[in-house]
Amino acid sequence: MKNNTQKIGQHKEHLQDIQNSEDQRGLEIDKVGVCDLCYPITVLDRQKEKQHTIAQITMSVNLPHNFKGTHMSRFISVLNQHRGEITMRTLPTVLEELKLKLKAESAHIEVSFPYMIEKTAPISHEKGLMYYDCRFAAESNSKTKDFILNVAVPITSLCPCSKAISDYGAHNQRGIIEISIRTYSDNTENYRLVWIEELIELAEQSASSPVYPILKRTDERHVTMQAYDNPMFVEDIVRNVAMRLNIDPRISWFSVRVVNQESIHNHSAFAQIERKK
């Protein structure tokens, strides 16, 4: 048994590191790494402080022209050290560790995950869980450090034209408001915190009506009439969201894309605004 252990140790010492061998083609790779990685993470929750969820993660670094490959296992090692919290507070550290361990000049990470919020129906006060698709995207290189938060919020919209020309009723549709933001950083290079819940509330306030996980008949009556009293084109919604984001002193850049999944047309309608403040 001892001899076998010694042999294994000897073989380990002499294993070739093919990734570090020289490549002769003279082409630097912009991004190389791991993707489609399903991983448990913990994110910040405004009400409960932290929320556990499952993320799809992509991590990459640049690869100089003279190296044949990168060390894929090191991505997982770095991630495993930070799985207790993956947020705007920890991603800068993750990126710096990726650059250090992989001897890279730039590092990138994207984290996509469902975020759950308990929502209460407006009249019956029935409670249910609503999920929202969220994404973090962060980058660190010699010139910049970047962090983007993206949240997709389902909403209801009601067509003002349909309401104006119809003898009764108006067509409505379900839509998606997708908000991406960058925030200003302070002197310690920490980005100012904007809660996921804040962006969800802002989006819902900008539409004809929110979407709920559970609705009783009294609730259905309420949200139907609420939408009818607040008709909006897709152009109205995207402007409403942009105006609210534009006055937030924490936000340095934003992009808003609204898609209405039309109920009486064989297409969807969209509008988009991007601004750097």
Virtual torsion, Cα 63, 81, 131, 195, nearest 10 deg: -90
**What is the model's pLDDT at position 51?**
94
**What is the model's pLDDT at position 83?**
80
Give the phi and the psi of residue 121 in degrees, each rounded to 5: -60, 145
Task: Encode pLDDT of 110-121 as tens digits.
Answer: 999 999 999 999
**What is the model's pLDDT at position 175?**
97
**Does the pLDDT of residue 10 top 70, yes or no?**
no
- 8-20 mean pLDDT: 58
User: Of 180, 185, 160, 164, nearest to 172 (Cα)?
Assistant: 160
Instruction: Render 36-88 in DSSP notation, one character per residue.
Output: EEEEEEEEEETTTEEEEEEEEEEEEEEE-TTBS---HHHHHHHHHTTTT--ST
197, two tokens: 């819940």
- Which run of H or of E encompasses 128? strand 127-140
**What is the model's pLDDT at position 23?**
57
Q: What's the count of helices (H) and strands (E) in the chain, helices before strands? A: 7, 9
Q: How far apart are CA 119 and CA 204, in angstroms?
A: 12
**Does the pLDDT of residue 8 top 60, yes or no?**
no
**What is the model's pLDDT at position 5?**
55
Q: How far is CA 157 from CA 222, 256, 269, in A?
A: 14, 16, 11
Kindly indicate the confidence band of residue 209, based on its pLDDT and cuts at 50, 70 and 90: very high
- Residue 225 · residue 255 · CB < 8 Å: no
**What is the model's pLDDT at position 28?**
86
Give 221-230's long-range contacts (Cβ < 8 A, gap of 24+): 221/123, 222/122, 222/123, 223/122, 223/156, 226/122, 227/156, 227/157, 227/158, 227/172, 228/158, 228/163, 228/170, 230/158
Q: How far is CA 170 from CA 123, 232, 236, 240, in A?
A: 23, 11, 17, 21
- Higher model confidence: residue 213 or residue 23? 213
Name residue, tokens 């294994």.
8
Domains of the chain: 21-143 (3.10.270.10), 150-277 (3.10.270.10)
- 159-173 mean pLDDT: 94
Kindly indicate the confidence band of residue 223, based on its pLDDT and cuts at 50, 70 and 90: very high
Mean pLDDT, the chain, integer = 89
**What is the model's pLDDT at position 190?**
67
Name residue, tokens 């930070």.
82
- 150-175 mean pLDDT: 95
**What is the model's pLDDT at position 69?**
65
**What is the model's pLDDT at position 27?**
85
Percent of the chain beyond pLDDT 70?
87
Q: How far apart are CA 265 and CA 83, in angstroms?
A: 45
**Does the pLDDT of residue 241 top 80, yes or no?**
yes
Most confident of 9-23, 60-74, 134-148, 226-240: 226-240
Kindly indicate the confidence band of residue 19, based on its pLDDT and cuts at 50, 70 and 90: low
Task: Encode pLDDT of 172-192 as tens digits.
Answer: 999 999 999 999 876 555 678
- Residue 209 · residue 155 · CB < 8 Å: yes
Kindly indicate the confidence band of residue 25, based on its pLDDT and cuts at 50, 70 and 90: confident
Q: What angle do CA 258, 261, 263 make, to 5 degrees?
A: 140
**Does the pLDDT of residue 38 top 70, yes or no?**
yes
Query: Can you state the angle between helices 72-80 and 91-102, rounded to 10 degrees?
Result: 150
